[in-house]
Amino acid sequence: MRRGWWFTVAAGAAILVPALPALGPAAQAGTALPAVPAGARAIGPGGGRTGLAAGNPFCQGLGKRYQASAGAQMFCFGEQPTVGGQPSGGAGPGTAGVPRNVDAANPAEDVSPAGARLYGQSETSVAAAGRYVVEAWNDSTSFASTCTARDNKAEGTGLGFSADGGRSFTDLGGLPNPLCRKDVFEGDPAVAAYQVHGATYFYISSLYDSRTGTGPSYIAFDACRASGSGSSARLRCHGPVIAASSKECFIPARSVSFCSFLDKDFIAIDPARARLYVTYSEFPIFHQGNPEDLSACSLVRPAAPACETGTPLKLQGPAKQGRYVGKPYFTVASADRSRGCENEGSYPAVNVGTGALYVAYEYNWATNILDPNCFGFRHQTRDVIARIPKGCLTITPASPCAHPAGRAFVRVYSLDAAFLPGYNRFPANDFPRIAVSGRYGTVSMVWNDARHHADGDALMESFRLGSLARVQPVPVTLDQPHGGGMTFMPAVRMASGDGLLDVAWYSRAGTATASTNVMAAVGVSPLADRTPANVRITSAGSDWLIANSDITPNFGDYIDASVSATGSWPYVGGTFYIAWSDGRSGVPQPYEAHLPAG
């Protein structure tokens, strides 16, 4: 009990896996798999435990042949401190006319049981329904905490809860996990809200991996119910619910097993059909390239979702040393086996009217500068939208469909070779975000792009539902001119009740500063053909050069923007919520702001 907030967790859901000795993540084809004693551990670059020391092949290639998320960095390398330098102009003063900015975390919680202060929260996600709001983030406190720590500090996914519409939050520590001694939440959170039968639920997904760096890699989530108000408000969580698991595992010498690594999860809810969908990347062991996959979950019992994760692992080869292979529920994008170009950053959106699911992802991210096999014209970087009809989304062990019903793509002038001052990971990203507007009959994609000037703009392209025919002849620039500065990591999730889009992004006024704000375009028509008005969301700038962080990337590789959920058609309310990592205090913190939706 803390300040009147009650946080409980029920027993975890049963997890059925083959009888393998403590499995773990992935690698590219041809990687030598070393023989290492089961359960081996070592100290990472900053003192954290690392899967790399256990010989995990996925970690051996990370940042060299391919790149992955902050959660993957946490899993492989543990704590990675970045020390702030001299200010580049400082954080500006508060600005009138912008929404209230609220830190959803409590810095006093970022202290380990042994008394060490940890630094940094990043990769934020937010969802709201009525007076309840939940924000989640990657939490560095996990680097120096064990399962016995109060408030689930050992979990790499932290969360804050608000019962007053986002005006204030209580930091609840880490995402509850009664199975912490075996597997832990590793960050990359996504949050979705669902109202049904007068009750409000939040689903908080995350990477979920072995504490030893071996064993299957998972995507899991907690199902949390919000109730009460004021000092009696509470959030009860049940989990973890396994939404996806490795579909390739290998047992080399000494019975140490390694598995494909699951990364970059995000979730979307179809409230009309009581469904939850999870998209993610899977980094394989047995071939080059990686697929983008999908799982489907039933919310008929909203407090205890049931997920379809595909066919289970089955042994191929000798009984004591061989490979285990299964299939995901649905493959959105197959691996590029000819060149090994990376898929990453998948993101789902539901057409509530028809039940179809749209998934966007980036093709040839990171490998377009890390792998010469992916440098050619035939492997241009692009953001892709795939359409999966309702008939393919059955609640069965596997989808009856072999591939999406249609695709469309935009060529990306990628920013992933850019060094963003104050950002401690290379490369940057151009991951797409999408939203469906039933009123306008469109699915719209936003991404950052360097085609107009070297440091990027936020672009939007809309496509017709069903046919995926282009709406605009050329992508629309969303950010207004700002002196040649930087625009990156745009976010959008769903349309407002009027079918309009609310998009937010990081923005810098010029290339000579690391002072970063969040800007937004509110009430954008999916049919727009010109730059809309922009509004400032941050009340003070955040100088990334002076922020101390134990996480890489220190400010994540996404922010979030969502519209509040309701329990009836069109299932969206009138408030637009934005979540981002903000370093105005000198330490990245998970902030929230809200304003009327467009």
Question: Tell me: the pLDDT tens digits for 229-261?
Answer: 999 999 999 999 999 999 999 876 556 678 999
170, 230 Cβ separation under 8 angstroms: no
Query: Using one digit for the tens of pLDDT, what is the confidence trace for 483-504?
Result: 788 999 999 999 999 999 999 9
Query: Using one digit for the tens of pLDDT, what is the confidence trace for 541-594?
Result: 999 999 999 999 999 999 999 999 999 999 999 999 999 999 999 999 999 999
User: Cβ neighbours of residue 39 under 8 Å, at least 6 residues apart?
Assistant: 22, 54, 212, 214
Given the structure tokens 């991951």, which residue do they identify? Answer: 431
Taken in order 138, 144, 146, 152, the sign of the CA dihedral is negative
209, 49 Cβ separation under 8 angstroms: no
263, 280 Cβ separation under 8 angstroms: yes
User: CA-CA distance, 213 to 50, in Å (whole number)?
Assistant: 7
Q: Which of 122, 202, 125 is nearest to 560 (CA)?
A: 125
**Phi, psi dihedral angles at 276 (to 5 degrees):** -130, 135
Q: What residue spans of 197-339 are helical by DSSP H?
A: none
Full-model pTM: 0.89
**Enclosing H/E stretch for 368:** helix 367-370
End-to-end alpha carbon distance in the chain: 38
Give the pLDDT confidence score for residue 84 in this predicted structure. Answer: 58
Identify any residues that bridge with 516 across adjacent strands, giving them in sequence order.
Answer: 542
103, 590 Cβ separation under 8 angstroms: yes
CB atoms within 10 A of CB 377: 5
Give the pLDDT confidence score for residue 255 in this predicted structure. Answer: 61
Q: Which of 285, 280, 296, 378 is nearest to 332 (CA)?
A: 280
User: CA-CA distance, 500 to 180, in Å (whole number)?
Assistant: 42
**Angle, alpha carbons 12-202-168 (nearest 5°):** 120
How far, CA to CA in Å, does 252 sit from each of 23, 33, 215, 284, 288?
A: 11, 7, 13, 16, 19
Tokens of 376: 């050619």
Q: Which amino acid is at 434?
A: I
Residuewise pLDDT in 10s, the chain (598 residues): 222 233 333 333 333 333 333 333 333 333 333 333 333 333 333 334 444 434 677 887 888 878 888 778 878 888 777 665 544 444 444 466 899 999 999 999 999 999 999 999 999 999 999 999 999 999 999 999 999 999 999 999 999 999 999 999 999 999 999 999 999 999 999 999 999 999 999 999 999 999 888 889 999 999 999 999 999 999 999 999 999 999 999 876 556 678 999 999 999 999 999 999 999 999 998 788 999 999 999 999 999 999 999 999 888 876 656 788 999 999 999 999 999 999 999 999 999 999 999 999 999 999 999 999 999 999 999 999 999 999 999 999 999 999 999 999 999 999 999 989 999 988 899 999 999 999 999 999 999 999 999 999 999 999 999 999 999 999 999 999 877 889 999 999 999 999 999 999 999 998 888 999 999 999 999 999 999 999 999 999 999 999 999 999 999 999 999 999 999 999 999 999 999 999 999 999 999 999 999 9
User: CA-CA distance, 482 to 541, in Å (whole number)?
Assistant: 15
**173: Cα within 13 Å, side-chain hemisphere:** 22
User: CA-CA distance, 458 to 28, in Å (whole number)?
Assistant: 33
Domains in the chain and their CATH numbers?
6-596 (2.120.10.10)
User: CA-CA distance, 79 to 559, in Å (whole number)?
Assistant: 21
User: CA-CA distance, 123 to 581, in Å (whole number)?
Assistant: 7
**Enclosing H/E stretch for 242:** strand 234-245
